[in-house]
Structures are given as C-alpha cells and as structure tokens.
Amino acid sequence: MAVRAVDANGLSFEVVEAGAGDHLALCLHGYPELAFSWRHQIPLLAAMGYRVWAPNQRGYGASSRPEGVDAYRIDRLVADVAALFDASGAKTLTLIGHDWGGVIAWSFAIHRIRPLDRMVIMNMPHPRCFARALRFWPQQRRSWYLQAYQTPELPERMLLSNEGAALRRMFARRAVDLSKFPDEIVDVYVRAALQPGAMTAMLNWYRAAPLNPRPRWLPNGGSVDVPTLIIWGDEDSALGLETLERTDEFVPDLTIRHLPGVSHWVQQEAPEAVNAILREWMPGGAAR
C-alpha cells in the first residue's frame, strides 16, 4: 500500500492506494474514522485484481478541509467521489462504503452519478428505510447525537477535551470485541481529530445534513439499479436492525449478510468474516 495526494473537485485528497488495473474499488470511510479503517480489506481487494483507493474524505486526515457547513452538503461529498473516479482514469467503478461512506455510496447510486459495477454497504441503511425507522422511538433514541451535533462549538469541546477522551470512549462503547481497538489503533483516529479544524470539519457533515434533500424527494423513488451487498454487524448500537426492513423495495438485486455479535465497526471488528463475504460476492477486478 502507498499513500498519495490526488487533486479532485478542487480539493486535495490523501489516498491510500494498492493494486492496479482499470477496475477501481473506492472505499469510503465513516465517522470518526479514516481510510485506515479499510486496512484489512485493501490487501484483499488488490489481490482480487482491483485497483483500490481509500481516500481520507474532505475534512479528514491530510485531505482538504474547506470551511463552512455548506461545504459538507451531500452533493459536494458525492461530487468528490465522482471526481476521484475521474482522476483515477479507471474504466469501471465499485463503491464500498461504511457509515457516512455508505450514505455517500447510496446517494451516488440513486442519482446515477457514474455507472457502477457493484456496490457494498456496511452498516448504513438505505436513506428511505432510515427515514422510515426514524419516525419511531427506538431509532430516535439511538440517533440522539444527530441533534446534539447541530450545536456550534460545544460538541468539539466535549469530544476533544482531555486529549480526545470522549472519542476514545466512542469506539469502546460501540465495540463488542474491544481487543480489536487497542490504544495504538484508536490513537490513529484521535490524533487525526485533534489536528486544527479537523473535528469541526467532521461534525460539519452532520450539520449539513438538514440542508440535504429529504429522502422522499430522491430521484427514481430512491431505486438502486446495481447489484448491492449489505454487510451488517447486528450489534450496532447506533442503527437498529429495523432500518434494514423493506430495503428490497428500493434495491431489486440485493444481498444482505448479517454478522451476529459484531458492532457498528464491522470491517475492523470482524475483518476475517467481512473479507470472506467480499471474496464470495465480488467477482474480482478483471471480471465485467
């Protein structure tokens, strides 16, 4: 694996790269993570014949941090992905997204920004399914932080105080297998969040969410016309299993694989199981 800077959509992105070829597997991380969260999947995908790019998305790591909430609206985030694909020169695209990376992947596929070969989503429901679940108390209770993050400045102070102690607790409280998150792993994320302006940029993804179009206004009724795999850690404390219900109404070619006893941090906590599913479901970079 190598790290390079890629200019796309008027920004600079820090990208972890592996493999070669014309089929790009673009791995999109979530909050409060980094491209580092894909460290177990990148070698597998490269060995399967994909060229793999895992960018630190806007606001994260050494990638550009534009100022202001408006810079983190979903259309800007999706445009980053399109521009990264264009910059790669690849001919074929597979998107793999976790958490917020999954939000972007869903939107990219629904709006048909570029042709997709396949899509893999990890622990992030289809936007219309999530909106439906959010009408009820169980998911409202799990999603309390969505409103809390709208407050200016206070969440940054809370999360960054005491050298990021609250961020450390976030990984611990959401994890099932704490052995997968020793201090040296969590340190990578905390050090990145402590960089000037980083935490505000990361939270601006949430602050921009109310500015995004409502799910019921999605084009094509929110339908996805590419084969889609959902890998789901069933012990997700932020997203209930009910958020998956009736996903097949929007995704005709859908495969769901559940991982019991695994948390929201699915690709880091259960890398062997996740990689086995990817190996089975994905055809390989040379296949079309």
pLDDT tens by residue, 20-30: 999 999 999 99
pLDDT tens by residue, 235-276: 999 999 999 999 999 999 999 999 999 999 999 999 999 999
One of 23, 98, 126, 264 is an active-site residue; which one?
264
Q: Which helix (H) or strand (E) holds 102?
A: helix 100-111
Concerning whether 264 is annotated as a catalytic residue, the answer is yes
Distance CA 147, CA 155 (A): 11
pLDDT tens by residue, 102-159: 999 999 999 999 999 999 999 999 999 999 999 999 999 999 999 999 999 999 999 9
Distance CA 21, CA 42 (A): 14
The full length of the chain comes to 288
- The CATH number of 2-281, from 3.40.50.1820, 3.40.50.10860, 3.10.50.30, 3.90.440.10, is 3.40.50.1820
pLDDT at 155: 95
One of 60, 72, 99, 117 is an active-site residue; which one?
99
- Is residue 219 within 8 A of residue 110, CB to CB? The reply is yes
- Is residue 149 within 8 A of residue 207, CB to CB? The reply is yes
Ranges assigned E (strand) in 107-190: 118-122
- Residue 43 buriedness (CB in 10 A; 0-12 / 13-18 / 19+): middle
Concerning whether 126 is annotated as a catalytic residue, the answer is no
Does the pTM surpass 0.85? The reply is: yes
According to DSSP, the β-strands at 11-18 and 228-233 are unpaired
One of 50, 60, 189, 206 is an active-site residue; which one?
206
